[in-house]
């Protein structure tokens, strides 16, 4: 396909995508752009460092973005760069709007000036708001946007900017909105590694009070293959949902982690809900299945167990990151919404 610029490529999903692309498209050049926030980690790219070019830069810097695009002759941009932690967005909402909305618009503008062949934007199921736990409806690509939290709203703003650059300037864009990812190399602030690392330390697993709230889960490699399908066969201007139909509640995740590690259920403890804690999201991914022939390959239970084993076997990867986590999930105030404490 030529030269890809992958932003946010030192993060969880981005680094898996970089590795996947290097393995499956050895003839392509890959330029990784990442500003290395607390969530970015160059070690995630250790095994591909000799196959990529790395540029430490922020997508909020238009001059640098344009220069990187021109100097490397970039054909395709895949934008993973974002502030991604819903809880942290309650403490620093401005940073989320700066990176996720203005950063994406700045990158779009640089891509428009240079004239790239494709701009793919990685988005989330969370832009649609949440569903009742017993709802039978699913979010389709034409569902209205109803974000409820600063993270969701900032991702929604970015999606609107991407569509506007297509409709107004003819930039050849695609968007994918994906369910909750799990797998190796996910920063320990997110629920599955948070539960696993707590359990490995022998500390209680902190479950938000609405333990029945649930998510649709996807293995990170299935997500990477979906983006690959969109880049290779997707229609310019379209949005593709990436889901699996495999749901699990927060409590079921905690139970599975403890079961895999042979630890007792008594290690679960309930803490107040994070303000704005969404109940449920489920995507209708018919278009991706029927138009592009993509299907998830990983069974949730097997994939989760393999992920828990990866954390158990890779303490040297995650232990240095524990002190970099900006949020203490056990400190949200009860009662009226408001960000309150939460900071570590």
- For binding to ligand NAD (CB under 6 A), which residues are involved? 7-8, 10-14, 33-37, 39-40, 58-60, 80-84, 99, 103, 122, 124, 155, 178, 180-181, 187
| SS3 category, 222 | helix
**DSSP state, 102?**
I
Nearer to ligand NAD, 22 or 59 (CB): 59
Distance CA 154, CA 147 (A): 9
CB 10 to ligand NAD: min, Å: 4
CB 255 to ligand NAD: min, Å: 20
Nearer to ligand NAD, 60 or 252 (CB): 60
CB 284 to ligand NAD: min, Å: 16
Q: Which residues contact 306 (CB under 8 A, 6 or more apart)?
A: none
Nearer to ligand NAD, 60 or 211 (CB): 60
Please give the backbone phi and psi of residue 215, each rounded to the nearest 5 degrees, phi first. Answer: -130, 155
Nearer to ligand NAD, 171 or 242 (CB): 242
CB 333 to ligand NAD: min, Å: 25
Nearer to ligand NAD, 64 or 267 (CB): 64
Q: What share of the chain is helix, strand, coil (3-state, %, to 5)?
A: 45, 15, 35
CB 87 to ligand NAD: min, Å: 12
Distance CA 45, CA 130 (A): 34
Specify whether the CB–CB gap between 123 and 153 falls below 8 A: no
Nearer to ligand NAD, 58 or 184 (CB): 58
CB 231 to ligand NAD: min, Å: 15
Distance CA 11, CA 159 (A): 20
Please give the backbone phi and psi of residue 19, each rounded to the nearest 5 degrees, phi first. Answer: -60, -45
Nearer to ligand NAD, 80 or 332 (CB): 80
CB 338 to ligand NAD: min, Å: 24
Number of other CB atoms surrounding residue 325 within 10 Å: 20
Number of other CB atoms surrounding residue 208 within 10 Å: 17
Q: Which of 30, 52, 175 is nearest to 104 (CA)?
A: 175
Nearer to ligand NAD, 263 or 321 (CB): 321
249 bridge partner residues? 214
Q: Which of 24, 201, 234 is nearest to 122 (CA)?
A: 234
Number of other CB atoms surrounding residue 179 within 10 Å: 27
The CB-nearest residue to ligand NAD is 11
CB 309 to ligand NAD: min, Å: 20
């Amino acid at each position: 396909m030529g030269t890809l610029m992958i932003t946010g490529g030192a993060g969880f999903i981005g680094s898996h995508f970089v590795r996947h692309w290097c393995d499956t498209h050895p003839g392509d050049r890959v330029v990784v752009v990442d500003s290395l926030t607390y969530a970015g980690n160059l070690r995630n790219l250790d095994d591909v460092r000799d196959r990529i070019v790395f540029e430490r830069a922020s997508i909020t810097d238009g001059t640098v973005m344009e220069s990187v695009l021109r100097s490397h002759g970039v054909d395709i941009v895949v934008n993973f760069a974002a502030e991604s932690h819903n809880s942290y967005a309650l403490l620093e909402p401005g940073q989320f709007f700066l990176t996720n909305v203005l950063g994406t618009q700045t990158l779009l503008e640089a891509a428009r000036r240079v004239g790239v062949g494709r701009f793919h934007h990685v988005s989330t199921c969370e832009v649609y708001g949440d569903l009742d736990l017993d709802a039978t409806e699913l979010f389709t690509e034409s569902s209205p946007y109803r974000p409820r939290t600063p993270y969701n709203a900032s991702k929604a703003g970015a999606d609107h900017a991407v569509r506007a650059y297509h409709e107004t300037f003819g930039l050849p864009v695609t968007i994918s909105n994906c369910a909750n990812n799990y797998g190796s190399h996910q920063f320990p602030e997110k629920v599955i590694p948070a539960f696993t690392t707590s359990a490995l330390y022998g500390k209680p697993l902190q479950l938000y009070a609405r333990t029945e709230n649930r998510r649709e889960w996807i293995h990170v490699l299935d997500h990477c293959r979906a983006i690959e399908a969109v880049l290779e066969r997707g229609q310019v201007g379209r949005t593709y949902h990436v889901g699996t139909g495999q749901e699990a509640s927060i409590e079921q995740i905690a139970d599975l982690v403890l079961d895999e590690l042979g630890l007792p259920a008594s290690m679960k403890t309930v803490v107040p809900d994070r303000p704005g804690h969404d109940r449920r999201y489920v995507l209708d991914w018919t278009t991706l299945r029927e138009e592009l022939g993509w299907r998830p390959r990983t069974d949730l239970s097997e994939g989760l167990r393999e992920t828990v084993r990866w954390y158990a076997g890779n303490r040297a990867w995650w232990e240095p990151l524990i002190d970099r986590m900006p949020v203490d999930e056990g400190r949200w105030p009860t009662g009226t919404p408001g960000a309150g404490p939460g900071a570590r």
